[in-house]
Structure 1
Amino acid sequence: MNDPVFSQGSVLGRFGVVVHGGAGNVRPERRALHIEGCRRAARAGLAVLRDGGSATDAVEHAVRALEDDPIFNAGTGACLTADGIVEHDASIMEGHDLRAGAVCSLRGFANPVLIARAALDDGRHVLYAAEGAARFAAERGFVPVGDAALVTEAAREALAAAREGTGPTGWAGGTVGAVARDASGLLAAATSTGGTVNKRAGRVGDSPLIGAGTYADDEAGAVSTTGHGEGMIRLCVARSAVEAMRARVSADEALRRTIEHLRERVGSVGGAIAIDRNGRYGFARSTATMSWAAAWEEGEDAGI
């Protein structure tokens, strides 16, 4: 890809939340829908923070809102595997004591980020997979909705296009995510996805992998990524960006450098959002679009 990496940054203040709706190439006539969906999710996260909730609570609520919106590739409406079903990946991490929870190859549940949060709170294991993830979810009281309830016509059309070799036209991208900082300084990040269209059964991308798709450390920053998961995994993109912020690089510059390195080193494209320990946020992408929104005490912003 020859397009330059685009990045932007600003300041949230005492607390705030930033979300993304996936790096990709959304059709121009649908871009306003993706921006508005991100705005709603960011506002949901901010409402939690205004009520005294933690950054972990905020990213959970923001990502849940994105999972419930069928225009995004997460939760209901996520993309389909080669077998025509939805397999979810999700993770969540908080930066104080580095607790994390994640699920991958999970079938039949509408909000995988909630199950990842349950894993974080349980604390015994970080990552649950496939049938084990479903069993853990059921033990924690989550009710499956079944495979069919998660499938939308748009997802079927994207799968058909991929099978025909014309690609997932207009698809939002590989994932959704959120990062947040609360009034106490706690940082958190969460990421959720259906993966890639027409993926092989059991394929797992970066989104549920701590350090690749999600990372948060109060001493440095919080990051959620989106894009080509195989490249993100090989370069541990989320952790790499956090380490750049630890070295006092600004959030947007840390992401710009990391996404550029992703493209130059392994030929992968994508994007990411971040908040650093001082409440500065940033985002970067090397794709045509990445819908995003930010909300904080005194304002909000959004784009694609």
Structure 2
Amino acid sequence: MQPILIVQGGAGDITDSRVPGKLTGIKESLRVGIKILENGGSSLDAVEEAVRSMELDENFNTGYGACLNTDGVVEVEASIMDGKSLKSGCVTLLQDIMHPISVARKVMEKTNHTFIGGESAMNFARTQKFEVLPQGSLVTENAKIALEEFKERQRKGLDTFFSRTELDKKQESVGELGETVGAVAIDANGNIAVATSTGGMTGKIPGRIGDTPILGCGTYADNEIGGVSTTGHGETIMRFNLAQRILQRISYKEENAQKATEDVTMEMTKRLVGTGGAITIDKKGDVGVYFTSKRMAWGYIKGNQLVYGINQGETFTEDL
């Protein structure tokens, strides 16, 4: 099997000024992850390292640069899944942890559990020797500005959490809604793995949990079908079970990764209004990319080509 790595850097109303940083970060993430696959490494190692690269980059909404809740605090969450064993690890409500994706992997490998959250997840991270940074170390100026913009909308009486008609306006105003990062890979042995990590949404209520750490919503991997990582409006993705539905289309309707990703993502937005996107690799090695948001940063390396984009209908190709 030819190794393939695909990554996404978040879907939403990404402003023009943030496009260059997003694309640079996507390419760096791909370089980090594909090197592992080219050297015979596992898909699991590749997706973890690709996501770790984005967790260090303030252009993405996870790790350093993650969104702030209404208290001005970063709460991050992540999940990782191995398509061979169907083992997975999920974490939520971590604070001051740079790499939630690596904590999620430790949950998968070092416990008999799948999902740990809150203070228990923090205690677990400490026992696994993860560095807990000084409080507020992950907060960036851009995140502070986005939170203030959100609070200003609230002061004007625009409750955008539950209003279907205001959902897109929130995306335009804040520019940080649902910008998750993720990676999907298939290695030389045909093993598929998926990793997804996020800071959630600007102005979320403290303790809010999104789709990212929930299997079948933000992340799923199964060697017999494929792997999916999603991004976008978390409440919408959770209600629609986006990742699992894409894999169901591949399995039961025998659609390829691209068609299944398109059909299901469009159906989600048509029924529930909220926007989002997904990246997919099926067991044959076909790639799928689609989003209903204004923009989604994405890219993949297959063979000697790097393919990437961020705007609707836009694709760039570079020879490696």
Q: Would the TM-score normalized by the shorter structure come out above 0.5?
A: yes
Tell me, in whole angstroms, the C-alpha distance in 2 between the residues paired with 1:136 and 1:264.
40
SS at 1:148 equivalent: coil
Tell me, in whole angstroms, the C-alpha distance in 1 between the residues paired with 2:210 and 2:63.
15
Q: Per-residue deviation at 1:29?
A: 3.4
Could you tell me whether the CA contact under 8 Å between 1:227 and 1:271 is conserved in 2?
Answer: yes
Aligned residues: 292
Choose which of 225, 229, 253 in structure 2 pairs with 1:220: 225
Query: After the TM superposition, which parts of structure 1 deviate over 3 Å for at least 4 consecutive aligned residues?
Result: 166-173
Query: 2:78 maps to which residue?
Result: 90
Map Cα deviations across residues 42-62 of structure 1 (whole Å, 9 max, x no partner).
111101111211101100000
Could you tell me whether the CA contact under 8 Å between 1:189 and 1:215 is conserved in 2?
Answer: yes
Query: 2:259 maps to which residue?
Result: 253
Root mean square deviation, CA, Å = 1.3
1:191 equivalent to 2:196? Answer yes
Query: 2:157 maps to which residue?
Result: none
Tell me, in whole angstroms, the C-alpha distance in 2 between the residues paired with 1:89 and 1:276.
25
Tell me, in whole angstroms, the C-alpha distance in 2 between the residues paired with 1:173 and 1:264.
18
Tell me, in whole angstroms, the C-alpha distance in 2 between the residues paired with 1:245 and 1:122.
32
1:244 equivalent to 2:242? Answer no
Q: Percent of pairs identical after alignment?
A: 40
| Higher alpha-carbon deviation: 209-218 or 226-235 | 226-235
| Pair 1:297–1:123, CA change in 2 (3 A) | farther
Query: 1:288 maps to which residue?
Result: 294
Query: 1:202 maps to which residue?
Result: 207
Matches within 5 A, 1:1-304: 14-165=2-153, 167=170, 168-171=173-176, 173-247=178-252, 248-304=254-310
Map Cα deviations across residues 20-42 of structure 1 (whole Å, 9 max, x no partner).
01001222233122111111101
Could you tell me whether the CA contact under 8 Å between 2:176 and 2:201 is conserved in 1?
Answer: no
Tell me, in whole angstroms, the C-alpha distance in 1 between the residues paired with 2:263 and 2:56.
32
Higher relative contact order (CA closer than 8 Å, sequence separation 6+) = 1
Tell me, in whole angstroms, the C-alpha distance in 1 between the residues paired with 2:127 and 2:15.
41
Could you tell me whether the CA contact under 8 Å between 2:178 and 2:233 is conserved in 1?
Answer: no
Tell me, in whole angstroms, the C-alpha distance in 1 between the residues paired with 2:55 and 2:84.
26
Tell me, in whole angstroms, the C-alpha distance in 2 between the residues paired with 1:233 and 1:172.
15
